[in-house]
Amino acid sequence: MLPTYRHDSRRRGASAVVVAISLSMLLGFGALAVDMGMLYNVRGDLQRTADAAALAGAIALMDNDRLKGSAELQAVVAASRTQAATFASRNAVYGLPTPSLGVNDASTGYLSDPTSATEALSFADSSLFNAVRVRVRRDATSNGPVELMFARIFGENTTGLKADATAAFMDGINGFRVTPGTGNAGLLPITLKTTAWNNLLDETFTSGDNYSYNPNTGQVTSGPDGILELNLFPGGGASSLPPGNFGTVDIGSPNNSTADISRQILEGVSAEDLAYFGGELKLGPTGELPLNGETGLSAAIASDLTAIVGQARTIPLFSTVSGPGNNANFTIVGFAGIRIMYVKLTGAMSGKRVMVQPALVVDDSALAGPSTGSSYYVYQPVRLVR
């Protein structure tokens, strides 16, 4: 006779409770996973928006108008924040309305070492500003918090998220290195004495403001544009520099010919030119670099200089020069961004001109470290630093 079994209703009831609890836990974990995945995507969109806004703001900060005086400088700073806000508003965040930046969510300032993760943004001197910091929010403060889905069953309806980004352009340029990725260096083989450059900046010795550069067309025309000029070539022209304040330098072999100088003016300094210095032209530990060269300027390069009128280039600055003529030895101590505005090296001496004005220069081949005061208006390209 086979034994008989009876179902235990108590065991069946206990199993149902365990299943119910397990299902609740699984549903809870599932809800958490869905909401966490959604928040991860929202956070990624916020970060991409902050990155784009910071880059756009920093690029707008590199406007030549910042050289035209305090009013224009403040306008450039304001425009950089506006550009950051504009780019933030163009980026959708996980299908939600595009974010706007709060009053304190876009800041423009100065970083002496953009590679430092701890240096605070300085707002002391707007003429030095080189960085834009952006915070993009979706919280109760700005743009509204992110609505949750399944987490509502646990009483969590919304949560706040934010993303930060800082973009900057590095100054403190102390040399140049050419690679296949950078292209030639926009370094002219023409050097200017530091005292003459400083006199131009503090307006104690200038040739006035007689030429205007149009950034939209790249053309130079007669008439003022708010940036003072200097006449490099001595002669009877107004505020021409006396001899000894300028010259040409050999960027490469000391036996550089006029053809080499012409090529460097037109095409920039190549890796082959810098091979003579071991691959890079750079100020030494004492902040100096000796270069051979020649005092004065030759009329043979007039057409080459004319060909680059309106283009922003870098020139070396020297502190002292020794030796006559083409046996001159210049002590290079820094670099400056300039734009050639007008060239005339023929005819009577009184009519000869090589007019330049300060200009912002961005060069992929530039080498930089923490700001050392060795360069003026020469920068590496904008990049995200935080």
The torsion angle over the Cα atoms of residues 331, 333, 336 and 340, rounded to 10 degrees, is 0
Residue 330 falls inside a structural domain: yes
Q: Which of 149-153, 254-258, 262-266, 322-326 has the lowest mean pLDDT?
A: 149-153
- With 90 as the cut, is the pLDDT of residue 187 above it? yes
Cβ(302)–Cβ(275) below 8 Å: no
Contacts of 238 (CB under 8 A, 6+ apart): 207, 208, 231
Number of Cβ within a 10 Å radius of residue 269:
24
Contacts of 383 (CB under 8 A, 6+ apart): 55, 167, 168, 169
Q: C-alpha 104: how far from its chain's center? A: 22
Last residue of a domain, one of 140, 168, 196: 168
Mean pLDDT of all residues in the chain?
A: 81
- What is the number of structural domains in the chain? 2
| DSSP helix/strand/coil, 62 | coil
Length of the chain: 386
The predicted model gives 307-325 an average pLDDT of 90
Q: Which of 4-13, 47-56, 147-156 has the lowest mean pLDDT?
A: 4-13
Residue 56 falls inside a structural domain: yes
* Residues 150 and 209 occupy one common structural domain: no
Last residue of a domain, one of 111, 146, 168: 168
Beta bridge partners of 356: 230, 340
The pLDDT, as a whole number, for residue 335 is 94
* Residues 229 and 364 occupy one common structural domain: yes
- Distance between CA atoms of 195 and 198, rounded to whole angstroms? 5
* Residues 109 and 154 occupy one common structural domain: yes
Q: Which of 21-35, 284-298, 315-329, 353-367 has the lowest mean pLDDT?
A: 21-35
HSE at residue 311, side-chain half, CA atoms within 13 A, is 17
- Distance between CA atoms of 294 and 249, rounded to whole angstroms? 6
The pLDDT, as a whole number, for residue 268 is 92
* Residues 161 and 255 occupy one common structural domain: no
Residue 139 falls inside a structural domain: yes
Confidence label for 19 from pLDDT (cuts 50, 70 and 90):
very low
- Distance between CA atoms of 31 and 150, rounded to whole angstroms? 5
The H or E element that residue 49 is part of is helix 9-61
Residue 185 falls inside a structural domain: yes
- For residue 249, count CB atoms less than 10 angstroms from its CB and return exposed for 0-12, middle for 13-18, buried for 19 or more: buried
- In the structure encoding, which two tokens stand for residue 237, read together? 């022209």
* Residues 378 and 270 occupy one common structural domain: yes
DSSP string for 282-336: E--TTS-EEEEEEES--GGGHHHHHHTTT-EEEEEEEEEEESSGGGEEEEEEEEE
* Residues 203 and 302 occupy one common structural domain: yes
Whole-model pTM: value is: 0.80
Residue 4 falls inside a structural domain: no
Please report, rounded to a whole number, the percentage of residues in the chain having pLDDT higher than 70: 79
* Residues 209 and 150 occupy one common structural domain: no
- Distance between CA atoms of 245 and 199, rounded to whole angstroms? 12
HSE at residue 310, side-chain half, CA atoms within 13 A, is 12
Residue 358 falls inside a structural domain: yes
- Distance between CA atoms of 134 and 142, rounded to whole angstroms? 13
Last residue of a domain, one of 150, 168, 186: 168
- Distance between CA atoms of 371 and 172, rounded to whole angstroms? 4
- In the structure encoding, which two tokens stand for residue 358, read together? 């300060």
Beta bridge partners of 291: 330
* N-to-C CA span, the chain: 83
* Residues 193 and 335 occupy one common structural domain: yes
The DSSP secondary-structure symbol of 194 reads H
- Distance between CA atoms of 230 and 221, rounded to whole angstroms? 16
Residue-range definition of the domain harbouring residue 265:
173-384
CA angle 50, 51, 53 (to 5 degrees): 65
Q: C-alpha 290: how far from its chain's center? A: 28
